[in-house]
Amino acid sequence: MTMAKTRFDLTGRVVIVTGGGSGIGKVYSTRLAEAGARVLIADLKREDSERTAAALAGAPGEALAVATDVSDEAATMRMAEAAVNKWGRIDGLVNNAGLMSTLTRRPWHEIPVAEWDRVMEVNLRGMFLCCRAVYGQMKKQRSGSIVNISSQSVLEGTPKRLHYRTSKAGVIGLTRVLAREVGADGIRVNTITPGLTLSDTQVASSDPAHLADTAKGRALERPQVPDDLVGAVMFLLSDASAFITGQLLNVDGGKSMH
């Protein structure tokens, strides 16, 4: 293998994907395992994570399903421990789990306080807990890459889901500060902001007319699909991005020129 290919190689890397049993997370888990990575599929729904892991039995890499509520500190610690017990290390974390597709689009002043709190609990607190859960092992290794999934909608101030957009804006701040705090430990932290992506869960929960309009305003005038995000995630997990940290990579077909 040439040096250039080696930099992009994920063979044998141990990567945790939260929300990895369905939607976009399922695609991340699948493509990483196909690339030879050892993937821990952490998902709130045990059946989803186990089904995805079973489907990857013949992949070049490996897959392990672990039921995980990212908003529960003990659960995130068990998630990290499972990866270390199985494979002896943690090379990457894809913080993908979050609440969005089930949220009703409504004016900000109509958002129930309990719903606001739950979105923050999962989308922001959950990300913080997962980062903290893997930190000890990554620090011990003196290496690791954390990829936090935010949203392109925060770049535009898209209305109607204020709690979701606010939580995803917080992800950007978390990424930048954390990158400075863990850089001395050899750990990198970056953010991806996907445009509205036609995952199976997004399609099932959205108005078809709304989805039909998603390509409007993009330089690349077509719908965005989960595989459009895979390259960015794999790049940030690989040695090809070894000197990149604290950065935001927007992947939306050129709708927001960030």
Residues 36-91 have pLDDT tens digits of 999 999 999 999 999 999 999 999 999 999 999 999 999 999 999 999 999 999 99
Q: Is residue 40 part of a domain?
A: yes
> Which residue, among 113, 129, 11, has the nearest Cα to 68 in the 3D structure?
129
Q: Calculate mean pLDDT across residues 1-22.
A: 90
Residue 214 maps to a domain: yes
For the chain, the domain total comes to 1
For residue 66, give the nearest of 138, 151, 133, 139 by alpha carbon. 133
For residue 40, the SS3 value is: strand
Q: Where residue 209 falls among pLDDT bands split at 50, 70, 90?
A: low
On whether residue 257 sits in a domain, the answer given is no
Amino acid letter, residue 208? P
Q: Among residues of the chain, what percentage have pLDDT more than 90?
A: 83
- Please say whether the beta carbons of 29 and 56 come within 8 A: yes
Of the candidate ranges 130-134, 143-147, 190-194, 214-218, the one whose mean pLDDT is the lowest: 214-218
Mean pLDDT estimate for the chain? 93
- Does pLDDT of 205 surpass 60? no
Which of the residues 164, 165, 182, 195 is marked catalytic?
164
- Residue 141 covered by a domain: yes
| Domain membership flag for residue 63 | yes
Residue 206 counted as domain residue:
yes
Question: What does pTM read for this prediction?
Answer: 0.94
The pair of structure tokens assigned to 254 is 């050129």
- Per the structure, the complete domain to which residue 96 belongs is given by 3-248
Q: Rounded to whole angstroms, how far apart are CA atoms 225 and 235?
A: 18
Pick left, alpha or beta for residue 253 (phi over 0 → left; psi -120 to 50 → alpha; otherwise beta): left
Distance CA 162, CA 194 (A): 17
Residue-wise pLDDT for 154-179, tens only, equals 999 988 999 999 999 999 999 999 99
Which tens digit of pLDDT belongs to each residue from 242-258?
Answer: 999 999 999 999 999 87
Residue 226 sits at φ, ψ, to 5 deg, of -55, -40
28: annotated active-site residue: no
Choose among 72, 247, 64: nearest CA to 145: 247
In a domain, 104, yes or no: yes
Q: What CATH number is associated with residue 196? A: 3.40.50.720
Cβ(206)–Cβ(193) below 8 Å: no
213 lies in some domain:
yes
Q: Concatenated DSSP letters for 1-30?
A: --HHHHHH--TT-EEEEETTTSHHHHHHHH
Rounded mean pLDDT, 7-19: 97
Q: Which residues are paired to 147 by β-bridges?
A: 94, 190
Q: Which residue reads 């695609």 in tokens? A: 27
| pLDDT > 70? residue 202 | no
Cα separation of 217 and 54, whole Å?
A: 39
Look at residue 20 and tell me whether its pLDDT is greater than 70: yes
Structure-block tokens of residue 249: 């990579």
